[in-house]
Every structure is written in structure tokens, then in C-alpha cells.
Amino acid sequence: MVQSAPVHNRHDVQYLRALAVVSVVAYHFWPNRLVSGFLGVDVFFVISGYLITSLILREVRATGTLRLTSFWVRRIRRIFPAAIIVIIATAIATNLSGLTAQILTISRHVFASAFSFENILLGLDSTDYDRRGDMTSPLQHYWSLSVEEQFYLVWPILVIGALGLTRKSWASTRRVLGFAIFGIAAGSLGYAIVITQGVDASYFDTFARAWELALGAGVALWAQRDFEPWRGQLISNRLGWLALVTTFAIPGLNDFTPGIGVLPAVLATTIILATGPVSTSKSLPFAKPVLFVAKWVGDRSYSIYLWHWPILILLPVFLGFALSGASKIGALVLVLILSELTFRFVENPVRHARAAWTFKPLFAGSMAVVTSAAVVAAAVLYPHDLGKQEPADPLLANMLSEPLEVGTPGLAEDFPYTLPYCVGAGAAVFVCPNSNVVEFDASSYRPVPPPSDTCQYEVQRMIMDCVIGDTSASRSIALVGDSHAQAMWASIDLIGKRAGYAVHVFLASRCSYRLYHFKWCTQRNREIEPRLNSGEFDLVILAQSSDIIDAGVENPVIPTNPFVELFGELHANGINVAVVKDNPKRGPELYSCLLYNPSEPGSCTSPFQPQMDLATQTALNLELPVVNLDNAYCPNNRCDAVRGGMFVWRDNGHIWPFFHLTAAPLLWSQLIEQELIHPQQ
């Protein structure tokens, strides 16, 4: 009888690790070359399930139990030191980069990565349309580590439960674990294929990935029994390797991830592990150097994975240009150097340390928590030098003051009230110096109306009948729409206060006032439809994104104009309606300029690209009034990233609510001109 090879003697596992990390790095550096290289992460999941379960079962068979705290301490010693070093280095580099969008969000990702829920944070962000356009985090790749660490937390507890149920009988324990692994794998795969199909957040969902880890665990459980080499073992192993390598080049698999799309790579990895280590002829040409390099990369695969993404995201900022050609090769060399240093001076010393204190669960756990907390605190408390960061309230107080006298020098007729002139959208009207410095931290202003007695809601993504503006007024305005309408809340609130209107806000991310959309969105629109058509409101303002087809909609092929029915109903009932033309998109030129010129954001500009969104076209066809603020965002056919001392766009599609507040006078003028509102006398 031939005993299955010990885990630590399996060089093929290191070769698998090398292939996995090379595919991931190649995919991130050259996404158009290795189109499915992202599957390397799934290979890692299977390997982790196999290795961790093998270690657990070895201890269970030897001692009849599993020391849970010792297991977790070993995981902390193996994973935590290198991970926290990269987090610290990334946080420092991000703050030194001067990249405002990264600095404003880095603390969220530092916290999530340090405490192993980066995948949860990314899942929440990917389902929140308000955050889908945020700049890519240099710690985003920690999502896969978070999935594995959550597995390390739960799986040994299940093993202990199996031991308790079977009274430590190995045969019974093995049988119970087999059923558990099968149940987890089947349930998780079904969940990944059916329930999460088309949902952005499913990519990061732990349970949608659990089946991959479970298959690795199943191989480890199966390998505990003694077996003889069987006919076809070698050919099965070779076919597994061939299938795995081929899978990385298959296009379109990302559309079916994490379900069917990752199944070929996961099954191929499972076959390779299950067929066991097989001999490799080193007499073949170049076999020895290739295997040597593969093992070297495999040994350092963890550090390579940790370093490659922050280098790819942040290095262009410091260089001032996008990586390409030789610069990408240089970036890879830097990744390998940092990985070697981390492997030699961090991973190995901690992993092989024999000092008694390093094995103390209380010490190791305390050090992990304290260090993580210190990293988070440093990222949060780091002095973010984003300009003067003047508070919004003084500006708001100025805008609430009496309108300027007509004879005021420099007063523009369509900009009746705001001080100072050159703040935000004011610089689109008055003659102002070019603003290269961000004097107002636009992110400091409230992204949604503050909760109050008249504005109560449980979650920010769905705001139903929140009343702002002049809450005591007998006249009222309804603001209805998605996150693009949400960006307008401050300006409509200001107009309501100045003109004497209570403003009723009906907002939901990714939910414009139309049909053929998410079921919950259609339900929301049907709920408010009677009120909007009843004549309760003196004015209904509809604002929405121009992107009408989003991932996950009920009907990917829209059978008809989704706006025409609801807009037409308002028109037929004689409701006073204003449709807001969607704001221009930031565009790739502006994005790249901000990325590579973080110290001079005011120099970033791009030509205005006229666009007509479907909602606006529908309004024009129905002869409904349209409000167009393009001149506030892109005056003189030029779109500047910074205007009047503040950023205009929060991401590719959304305007900062603070900037929109400064555009309130322009909105006021159009509403007055079209006789949609009437200020109190």
C-alpha cells in the first residue's frame, strides 16, 4: 500500500501556487492578453481548502482533537505579518501620493483589510450605485484573503462539532465531514450559479466561493485513506494541468463568475491535487530551471500577491504616467524585490520562530488586534492635506442671506445670490482665476439630507418622503430619482428655503422614475405614482442617470421607452413637472489627468461632449420643461475637474452635492424663468 504524500513534500502544490499567482499578476498587468487569468484566485481557494484541511485532519488523527486556539495562532503567524506590512506601506504610499480620491477612502479599506472583511466592503460598494465609480482601492485584492480568513475561522469549528457528534471516532468523523463538505459544496455552487447570477456583489460573496474551498477540503479528506497508484493516474494529472492552463485563455468566463465560469479551473485544480504528486522527468530540456523558478515563485506567491496590486495602482501616480512596456516590466521587478524581502525578513522569520512567546494564543491574538487597530488609527488620523477644508455651513449661510443688490459689481443676472462669487459653480458665471487648489473639501458636505423630525429613514439607499426645505410651507416640491437626484438634494433644499416650498424627497440608488427595472424599484415607483399624479405637489422634479441599462435589471432587453409611460401620465394629468438633464460624464481623459497629476488637479480639463439622455428626450417629446445645468459643469464647452476651489465630479458619473449646492442659483434661475416656482413675495 502506498501512503499519500505528506503535504509538506508536495512540490506540485508550490507549482500550482506559482501558476496561480503568475496568472493573476499577468491578468492584472495585461488584462487583454490572459483574459481569464483572474481564475488564479480560484486556484488559491482550492489549494487553501486542501492544505488547511490536511493540517487539521493530521492533528485530529494524531491527537483525537483539535486545539482551536493553537490553530488560529498558526494562521495568524503565517498570514498576518506580511499582510499588515503591505497594508501599512500601502496606506503611507496612498497618503503621500496626493491622490485625493484615494486618500478620502483609504481608511475604509485599511480597516476592512486589517480585520478580514474587505470582500464584504467591496460587496456593499458594488451593490451601491453611489460607490460603483469610486477609484479602485490599492487594497482591493485583500478580498480573497478575507474569504480565506473567514474560512479559517469557521471550518475548524465545524470540524470540532463533527468530533463532538461522533465521540472522536475517526471513521464516524470522516463520514460526517464528508457529508458536510458535500452539502457545503453543493449549496454554495447552487447559490453561486442561480441566486447570485448577475449581482455584482456575488463576486466577493464568501458563501458563493465556499464550494471552491470545500472541494479542496474534500480532496484532503479523501487523501487521508491509503491508496495504491491506479491506472491512468499520471494521464489524469497531466490532463488536469493542461486543462488548467488552457482555462486561463478562455474568454467570457468572467460573465459567469463565481459560478459556472470558475468551474473548469476549480475542477482542474481538484484533479491535480487528487491525483497526488507524480514524478516529473528532469531530463527534459529546461526542466530543472523551469521547476526551480516555479518553486521559487510558489514559495513567494503570497508576498507576490500582496505586493503586485498596490504597485500596479500607485506606481503610475508617483511616475506621472501610465504603465506600459518597459515600465510594466520594471514594476514587476519591483514586485519581485519587495516579495523577496518580505519572504526573507518577515514571512520566514515569524513562521520558523521557536521562541515560546510566539506560540502563546493570548500574545499572538493581542498583537494582531493591537497592530490592526494601530494601522487603522494611523490611516484615519493621518493629516489629509486637501486644502483649507472650509466648512460648508458658512457658505450655506451666505447663500441663505438676502439676494445681492442689482447694482453689485460683477453681478450676473442669472446668479442672483451667493457669496463669494468664485466658489464652486460661481466660477462658471463670474470671471475668476483658474483654481488649481482645492480650497473646499467637497466630501465633507452631507451626501444625503440629515435625519430630522421630518426626514427619517433607516438606510441611505432608500429615502421615502423625507421633507426638507421650508418644512412649514403650504406649498411643496417633490424630488424623485436615483443617486443623480440625490446629488441635488442640497440645492433643492436651499431653493425650498428661499422660495418657500417644503421639499419631499423620494430617492433610491439605481432607481429612476421609470418602468422595466429592478422589481423593488418598480414597486417603489408604483407606490409613489398616485401621489405624484394627485396634484399634491406644486412641482415634481425628476432627475436620473442617463445609463438606463444596468447589470441585474429584470429585463436586459428593454421592450420600449421605460420613461414614456410614467412621464406621459404626469403630463396627461397636468402635473407641473421639470425633468433634469443628466450631468455630463467625467470621461477617461479627466480621470487619467487626475490620476497622474494629483498635485495640480486644476490643470485637468477635457472638452465637453454633448449628450442627450433618454429621459430628457422623452421630456422634450412630451413638451415637458427641461432643466439643463451643463453650463455649470462645463462652461465654454470645457469640463474642468476643479472649479471654484472644489471638485466637480465625485466619480465618473456623479456630481459632488457640495458643488451642486453652489449651482443652486443657476437651478433657481431656470425654474423661475420657466415659471415652475414662484418665490414668496
State residue 390's pLDDT score: 43
State residue 343's pLDDT score: 96
pLDDT tens digits, 522-534: 888 999 999 999 9
State residue 557's pLDDT score: 46
Q: Are 605 and 638 in contact (CB under 8 A)?
A: yes
Burial code (b: 16+ CB inside 10 Å, e: under 16) for 556-568 equals: eebeebbbbebbe
- Kindly write down the DSSP assignment for every residue of 276-323, as one continuous string: ------TTSTTHHHHHHHHHHHHHTHHHHHHHHHHHHHHHHHHHTS--
State residue 367's pLDDT score: 60
State residue 227's pLDDT score: 57
Distance (Å) of CA 70 to CA 76, 77, 212, 353, 367: 10, 10, 25, 15, 15
* Three-state DSSP state, 647: strand
Q: What pTM was computed for the model?
A: 0.75
Instruction: Give the angle 622-626-627 at the CA atoms, nearest 5°.
Output: 170
Rounded to an integer, what distance in angstroms lies between the CA atom of residue 405 and that of residue 361? 72
The CATH architecture to which 392-673 belongs is 3-Layer(aba) Sandwich (3.40)
Residue segments in the chain with a per-residue pLDDT below the cut of 70: 1-9, 100-101, 104, 126-135, 168, 195-200, 225-229, 278-287, 354-420, 435-436, 441-444, 458-461, 517, 548-559, 681
Question: What are the helix and strand counts (H, E) for the chain?
Answer: 25, 10
pLDDT tens digits, 549-563: 443 444 444 557 889
The domain limits of the chain are 7-381, 392-673
State residue 321's pLDDT score: 78
C-alpha closest to that of 507 among 495, 525, 519: 525
Number of Cβ within a 10 Å radius of residue 407: 6
Residue 129: what residue type? Y
Rounded to an integer, what distance in angstroms lies between the CA atom of residue 402 and that of residue 384? 35
Residues 6 or more apart whose CB falls under 8 angstroms from that of 355 comprise none
Rounded to an integer, what distance in angstroms lies between the CA atom of residue 435 and that of residue 422? 9
State residue 419's pLDDT score: 54
